[in-house]
Structure 1
């Protein structure tokens, strides 16, 4: 059940990122505040890891995202999103999300030019920032969502 809630939250972030190339602070900071409150109240992360693992996962997420943010490859919302995921999961999940997101983004860059032409105009409008011609600035959250799905399947 906790995995499902995490997936729904990340799906909301991914949809907003794909549509607007922006993730609202209410989603990212709200998710991080909830994950931190849960961590402090229960002594474990949202997915059941020890609190110490959540702290290490937060540091790992920041270690991976802050360099990308400083090089303008990731946005501030992406950093906050991954920090929230770190607080809610553990280091293995954070690593899995990054690996899955990287593989998915490569797959999308290879597949998108062929698939994009056959997608309906409405869908292309909703996923405007996923367009192949914008490949230098793809939104991160949709790929992180797929990375989380792959990680949950792999680790369960």
Structure 2
């Protein structure tokens, strides 16, 4: 089985856990973070083939973009860390595209929740949107170049 399958399965399990419990366990993130970092520094490229600079910039981009949503409690700390690990796996360009997909999916989910519940303060898990955006990127990306 390919690494894409295992990354997709890992992300899907995190999404399901977040959907049910509204949290992401650090141990679940470390399961992919450690092999990703080892591959990056041992092989000179990430698990999905991105170079070290691209992988680290992807991680930084995902962290910087999602961190401002943490203080107002729009995203949880686990969501920010999950996005950062996904950024490390995807590399810079694919992380940018994943974040664009995730923003569209989260916006759609917010409108749907508002429409169904009639409340702007309805909370929902972000990991499923991040996972779906990552899977879209893995199956169809990169799209911007």
TM-score band, normalised by shorter chain:
0.7 to 0.9
Alignment match, 1:155: 142
Alignment match, 1:62: 63
Number of residue-to-residue matches in the alignment: 141
In the superposition, the TM-score normalised over structure 1's length comes to: 0.79
| CA distance 1:113–1:60, shift in 2 (3 Å) | closer
Q: Deviations over 1:28-83 (max 9, x none)?
A: 12322221112111110111011111111111111112111133211111121112
- Distance in 1 (CA, whole Å) between partners of 2:118 and 2:39 is 39
Alignment match, 1:4: 5
Alignment match, 2:108: 107
- Distance in 2 (CA, whole Å) between partners of 1:73 and 1:113 is 15
In the superposition, the TM-score normalised over structure 2's length comes to: 0.84
Q: Deviations over 1:2-47 (max 9, x none)?
A: 2211111100110000000011111112322221112111110111
CA RMSD for the aligned pairs? 2.3
Q: Which runs of 5+ in 1 are unaligned?
A: 117-130
Q: CA deviation at 1:132?
A: 7.9
- Distance in 1 (CA, whole Å) between partners of 2:16 and 2:102 is 15
Structure having the higher helix fraction is 1
Alignment match, 1:17: 18
- Distance in 2 (CA, whole Å) between partners of 1:83 and 1:70 is 17
Aligned ranges for residues 32-51 of structure 1 at < 5 Å?
32-51=33-52
Q: Deviations over 1:110-145 (max 9, x none)?
A: 44678x8xxxxxxxxxxxxxx886864221110011
Alignment match, 1:142: 128
Q: Which runs of 5+ in 2 are unaligned?
A: none
Q: CA deviation at 1:92?
A: 1.6
- Distance in 2 (CA, whole Å) between partners of 1:69 and 1:112 is 20
